[in-house]
Structure 1
Amino acid sequence: MPSASVRRSAGQISGEDIVVEAAWLYYHDGLNQNEIAARLKVSRATVVNYLQEARERGYINITLAAEPFTNHRIAHELCGMFELRAAYVLPDGAGGELEQFERAVRGAANWLPSLLAPGDRLGVAWGKTIYDTADQIEPVTIPDLEVIQLVGSMATPYGFSAEVCSSNVARKLGAKCVNLHVPALLSTPQIAAMLRKEAIIAAQLEAIDRCNKTLFAVGSCDHDSHIVTSGIASHADLDWYVAHGAAGVLCGRFIDAGGEPVRGPLDERMIGVEPTALRGKQTGLLVSVGQEKTVAMLAALRGGYATHLVTSRTTAEHLLSLAERAETAA
């Protein structure tokens, strides 16, 4: 809530004060909308508008405690199966996969600040999941936090680039941002090698090595996945990697079912974090939703890239079932 005082005298409350007053009565004093309307001598619809305006102005920050989402049975099963330190599992709701996705990114945005500490170096991946997570983070300042872009820039069908993902996370967390000012994929390995040696690019790649925490999603190896629609891989490239064991995509790189990198014709042309450099972090926060993502999620979890997971209940159930079937088959 803002610190500006609210006039409570018998006179008419107006302007910004009435928005603050309505928000205070609703969120702090616990009055319902009809009671507030009577108190302020306005209609209930006007109260609804005041509350919406308060949220849009950033006067209201609504957060949910992590414990109810990390302490139930499925969360504990995920931690036991994949040696995670914590899993944040959101209820599905009634709106299908889109609602599950929206809830997951809100959950990740709510949880992320509590997983960070002053002095951390947070590596941030790319994609719609990360972009939407950044959009949902409530502004907060974490002292001496550095946010580092993990993958170079690429085209995207969503209207944003990789550097926007990292920049938005940094802006919401009051952090310094280190962007990677180079394309994710170059036309030849020789050009990529030359760019890696440029002083500014070399310094940005060194910053990636300093990350102690990461925020990332995983992509599937389907032909409509982000790795193809962003222009990183052609359909023929995707088929080559799948034929050589690829099961998922992590920060633009292909990994197999055990989480090991699948090296191929694109890798020497790429600039960004190597999958093996994402292992062993203090925190690796994986955010993914959807049955079509469970094969890739399982690969990332087996590979040891994640210490924390945010997903939906249905996705969690599919993931556990997939892992159990794989264990039985082995």
Structure 2
Amino acid sequence: MNRSAPSTVTPLTEPPVDTEEELQARVAWHYYVGNLTQQEIAHRIGSNRVRVNRLLAASRESGMVQITINSRLAPCVALEEALAKRFGLEAAVVVPAGADTESNMAAIGIGAANYLSRQIETGQTVGLGWGRTIRAVLRAMPQRAYGPLAAVSLQGGLSHCPSINTFDIVSDFANLCQADGFLFPVPIYVSSQAVRDTLLQEDAVRETYERARQSDLAVLTCGDLTESLVVTYGINDPQQVRELERAGAVGDMLGHFMDADGEAIDHPLNRRTVAVTLDDLRKIQRVVLVSGGAKKFAVTRAALRGRYPSVLVTDEETAQRLCEEP
């Protein structure tokens, strides 16, 4: 008697519900690859145009979608040349200004990422600053292996910062570029100059410090006295911020507070900063300053007057103001 093998019936299961990230990817694909309108996408996903617009914005903000525009705007090119000539820069990158602070930062980040992807070379040590602007740069950078590469923090970190820390910047860059990461395992501000000097004698800290000073390429931003992460989380003391203002500070670079001409101000905080010094920056072969927006204008100008950067990446409105000032 022939008996057929018992059949196995696999029960049908409901397809998993899209997560928010999957929905962002689906919407981005339909919009950028499928060329559907936002209204058509809204119909497909059973939603509305407002939500589709928000999902597209979120996919760009997270770095899921990276935009490269293979064209150069003539007014921006003219400003690049004017900036380079006026401030003695090796190069400048100027992007169209965004409609608000966040979009402006994202645009500058894209401009910086495009520039850096052409400048990074095998065997380099890349020194990295910190801040929301540098995070925007990393979000726009393509994932790519450059060969042996080192990424090193140019400054200490913060014990508390809910949005981003120096460790995140180095780690994210190392993951994107398959680089070895080196961190300052100390806070950016310590209790006294004596403590700072002692810390810099510790082997682990001294080795990172020396590696950072010898970077082939440094990428950093500068911060104003109102919204920078250093002011908000590193100082967190309105009275001390007022003291910095009275001492002539217009903002900071790597935690060092500068006056309008880019010189370090005479203030105890600057002597307690664990970071590559402003004088060290001048000795690095290529320093890329990524900075723009109205609130950062004074500190960006100060950095240029101090002749720290060899390359500036900024927005069109900031570039125009820098070129027009007497």
Q: TM-score range with shorter-chain normalisation?
A: 0.7 to 0.9
What does the per-residue CA deviation read over 1:253-308, in whole Å, with 9 as the maximum and x for residues that have no partner? 01222222223211332211111101143221111121121110111011111111
- 1:88 corresponding residue in structure 2: 93
**Residues 248 and 254 of structure 1 are in contact (CA less than 8 Å); yes or no, is this contact kept in structure 2?**
yes
Return the TM-score normalized by structure 1: 0.76
Check if 1:192 corresponds to 2:196. Answer: yes
Measured after TM superposition, the shift of residue 229 of structure 1 is: 0.3
- 1:116 corresponding residue in structure 2: 120
Q: 2-side partners of 1:60 and 1:318: how far apart?
A: 31
Measured after TM superposition, the shift of residue 178 of structure 1 is: 0.7
Alignment of 1:6-17 (within 5 A): none
Tell me: CA distance 1:231–1:209, structure 2 relative to 1, closer, same or farther (3 Å): closer
- 1:303 corresponding residue in structure 2: 306
Measured after TM superposition, the shift of residue 87 of structure 1 is: 1.6
Measured after TM superposition, the shift of residue 224 of structure 1 is: 4.1
- 1:232 corresponding residue in structure 2: 235
From 74, 81, 95, the equivalent of 2:79 is 74
- 1:11 corresponding residue in structure 2: none
- 2:110 corresponding residue in structure 1: 106
Q: Which amino acid aligns with 2:81?
A: H
Counting aligned pairs with the same residue, the percent is 27
Q: How many residues align?
A: 291
Q: 2-side partners of 1:281 and 1:301: how far apart?
A: 15
- 1:148 corresponding residue in structure 2: 152
**Residues 184 and 209 of structure 2 are in contact (CA less than 8 Å); yes or no, is this contact kept in structure 1?**
yes
Alignment of 1:155-304 (within 5 A): 155=159, 157-220=161-224, 222-232=225-235, 234-304=237-307
Report which stretch shifted further, 122-131 or 106-115. 106-115
- 1:14 corresponding residue in structure 2: none
Measured after TM superposition, the shift of residue 75 of structure 1 is: 1.6
- 1:319 corresponding residue in structure 2: 322
What does the per-residue CA deviation read over 1:84-129, in whole Å, with 9 as the maximum and x for residues that have no partner? 2222211124x33322122111221222111211111111011111
Q: Which amino acid aligns with 2:318?
A: T
Q: 1-side partners of 2:65 and 2:102: how far apart?
A: 25
Provide the secondary structure at the position in 1 that maps to 2:181.
strand
Q: Which amino acid aligns with 1:254?
A: F
**Residues 69 and 90 of structure 1 are in contact (CA less than 8 Å); yes or no, is this contact kept in structure 2?**
no
Report which stretch shifted further, 155-164 or 63-72. 63-72
Tell me: CA distance 1:189–1:98, structure 2 relative to 1, closer, same or farther (3 Å): same
Q: 1-side partners of 2:141 and 2:160: how far apart?
A: 22
**Residues 66 and 88 of structure 1 are in contact (CA less than 8 Å); yes or no, is this contact kept in structure 2?**
no
Measured after TM superposition, the shift of residue 68 of structure 1 is: 4.5
**Residues 70 and 87 of structure 1 are in contact (CA less than 8 Å); yes or no, is this contact kept in structure 2?**
no
Q: Which runs of 5+ in 2 are unaligned?
A: 1-24, 46-51
**Residues 142 and 174 of structure 1 are in contact (CA less than 8 Å); yes or no, is this contact kept in structure 2?**
yes
Provide the secondary structure at the position in 2 that maps to 1:246.
coil
**Residues 232 and 252 of structure 1 are in contact (CA less than 8 Å); yes or no, is this contact kept in structure 2?**
no
Check if 1:134 corresponds to 2:138. Answer: yes
- 2:69 corresponding residue in structure 1: 64
Measured after TM superposition, the shift of residue 139 of structure 1 is: 0.4
Report which stretch shifted further, 266-275 or 122-131. 266-275
**Residues 212 and 281 of structure 1 are in contact (CA less than 8 Å); yes or no, is this contact kept in structure 2?**
yes
Tell me: CA distance 1:60–1:90, structure 2 relative to 1, closer, same or farther (3 Å): closer
Q: 1-side partners of 2:71 and 2:161: how far apart?
A: 33
Q: 2-side partners of 1:205 and 1:62: how far apart?
A: 35
